[in-house]
Chains A and B, each alone.
Chain A
Amino acid sequence: MTLAAPAAPVRLTRRLPILGVPVIVWLSIGFIVLTLLVALVGEWLFPISPVAQDLYRISTPPSADHWLGTDELGRDVLARLIAGSRTAIIGPFIVALIGFVVSSLVGIYAGYSGGAVDNIIMRVVDFIIALPGLLIAIVLVSVLGGGYWLAIGVLSLLNVQGDIRIVRGAALKERSLTYIEAARAVGVPKPRIMYGHILPNILALSASTFAIDFAGALVALAGLAFLGLGAEVGTPEWGSMLAEGQALLFSNPAAALAPAAAIILLAVSVNLIGDWAYDRYTGR
């Protein structure tokens, strides 16, 4: 670990930036655009059906007919990867977005208000943490039936508590800083302090957690799908493909590794873009 003094003016742009944007961010943007494109037209363009089964050729490794091999029902992995790109973006995005919005509203309020308000809100959050998510999922499946949007809802609920804690912690710290005291002294109304002053200063945090929530949601959706809370079993979906590909790991590694790679790349891309956008926005 080098402890050399940091470079004086903090600049992001290094290593052959193009139009002022680092290469790696271009790659990330490129990957996301690619995923969106594939989500829109991929299934239409790719000749192999993502649901066509071939029971005599299950778990086969990559070959000329099936570039990424077949899964446990003989379906083409690449076709499913392409078809799964649709759900890969929307669902997790919504989960992360809900996490961001709710945690910003509630977390800042709790952290800034302190005292009883903080206490009550955090106890409610603790309450949610203490509930076993698996139980909630199973009960919801039994009582309401399954479904993709229900899964998104459950995941959002389970996800939000972590974000609230983070934002609340940050708000707690901000509250004691001079500039907030000054604002209070001057008579700035509370909502304005919370959302006009504190919020912008903790945006970095929220951007970070947004991207991480995204990746987590992508994988968590698979776990819920196993319980019936998700798209119908057999629907191409990266998380489910990963979960079902577990059993084939040494028969056709691509069945699990391809969706894993896709998930990782998408999550990392979202993260990198978020970071860069934040750095750019705050002029750091």
Chain B
Amino acid sequence: MHTQSIVLHLLRRLLMLIPLAIAVSLVVFLLASLIPGGPVAALLAGKATDTATIEAMKARLHLNEPLHMQYFYWISGVVRGDFGTSIFTGQPVTAAIGERIWITLVLNLAGVLLCLLAGGSLGIAAAVNRGSLFDRAIVAFSLFLSSAPPFVLAIAGLYFLAYKLGWFPLFGLGRGGPLTTAWHLVLPAIIVSISPLGFITKMVRAAMIDQLDQDYVTFARARGIPFRQVLFAHAFRNAMVPVLTAAGLLFVGLLTGTVFVETVFGIPGMGRLLVTAVQFNDFPVMQGVVLFVAAWIVLTNLVIDLLYTLVDPRVQFGRASR
């Protein structure tokens, strides 16, 4: 593909972010406004109150204005870079997200990469030894780990590795520099990597089996090329497309999908931010997170699709097939 058309394609895809962002933020806004009581009832839940208090709270939060005006206030803030203030903590939404985004990204990226590494290795090993007990054992083992409810994995990891064996810190991010934080994220990252493991292993295994069955492998080996070379230089690369899809899925769900790990290990991440925001109908935070997620999705999709073309030149985009 010509570089120019790739760049154009990229730009087109990035522009798609705008309608996606607007659509998503609009729908989230509408959905949230449907919740009876909104943030006022959620904040006061159970406390005695009176009409004057509630009306004053609503007025301060602009909740009495028509929906389209509220949305307009928010959007006009966004284009100026002001994403609003959290109703729950009073902090600016940019600060709330900014505090957590690096932690979440590091945690999730580490987890996904670990998973890809482990799953990839297991999958290849299983494919190469297809049909043997080893193969079955690998698949069953990774399946077992993946079928375990994420909460159980987190608590098991916490109890055995952190508490009993003391290999890892129990919770939090530690008081220290980036290195301490990184160390505190190791066990949570391991836990994050386990759930998708079965899926990745099976994907890689299936894709590799597919490739190993192909004629070119037989021919290459018949010509005397060492199996190892065939495996890594050719078969693996060709197997990459479905693996990329799988990896892409994991990355896309990255930002808010690890709530259970954040809860168990007491890590301030985007997952908990979103859950708290939804529970308390914290409009500005919900909108902010959702925008972020939309941007992240567009970005990840782009990267994955680009990787598709890199890995398999036959895969083309932007051109309709007949």
Task: Enumerate chain A interface residues (CB-CB to B < 8 A).
Answer: 1-7, 10-12, 14-15, 22, 24, 112-119, 122-123, 126-127, 129-132, 134-136, 138-139, 142-143, 162, 165-166, 168-170, 172-173, 175-177, 184, 204-205, 208-209, 212, 215, 219, 222, 239, 242-243, 246, 249, 256-257, 260, 263-264, 267-268, 271-272, 275, 284
- Nearest-CB distance from B223 to chain A (Å)? 15
The residue from B133, B146, B244, B321 contacting A113, defined by CB atoms under 8 A apart: B321
- Nearest-CB distance from A111 to chain B (Å)? 10
Contacts of A246 in B (CB 8 A): 151, 155
Please determine whether A3 and B242 come into contact, CB atoms closer than 8 angstroms. no
Report the count of interface residues on B (CB-CB < 8 A). 81
The residue from B143, B227, B286 contacting A135, defined by CB atoms under 8 A apart: B286
Contacts of B151 in A (CB 8 A): 219, 242-243, 246
Binary CB contact string for chain B from 143 to 162 against chain A (1 if under 8 A, 0 otherwise): 11011111110010000000
The 17 sampled A-B contact pairs (Cβ below 8 Å) are A3-B228, A5-B227, A7-B130, A14-B132, A15-B133, A22-B136, A114-B321, A118-B317, A134-B278, A138-B279, A165-B249, A172-B241, A205-B206, A209-B199, A219-B150, A246-B151, A275-B202
Q: From DSSP, what is the main secondary structure of chain B's interface residues?
A: helix
Bound CA span A166–B28, Å: 26
Q: A130 and B293 in contact (CB under 8 A), knowing A176-B315, A208-B199, A264-B147?
A: yes
Please determine whether B129 and A6 come into contact, CB atoms closer than 8 angstroms. yes
Please determine whether B249 and A166 come into contact, CB atoms closer than 8 angstroms. yes
List the count of A-B residue pairs having beta carbons below 8 Å apart.
197
The residue from A134, A143, A170, A239 contacting B34, defined by CB atoms under 8 A apart: A143
The residue from A2, A169, A249 contacting B242, defined by CB atoms under 8 A apart: A169
Bound CA span A180–B298, Å: 29
Residue of B nearest to A243 (CB): B151
Please determine whether A219 and B149 come into contact, CB atoms closer than 8 angstroms. yes
Please determine whether A208 and B203 come into contact, CB atoms closer than 8 angstroms. yes
Please determine whether B128 and A10 come into contact, CB atoms closer than 8 angstroms. no
The residue from B31, B129, B140, B227 contacting A268, defined by CB atoms under 8 A apart: B140
Please determine whether A184 and B125 come into contact, CB atoms closer than 8 angstroms. no
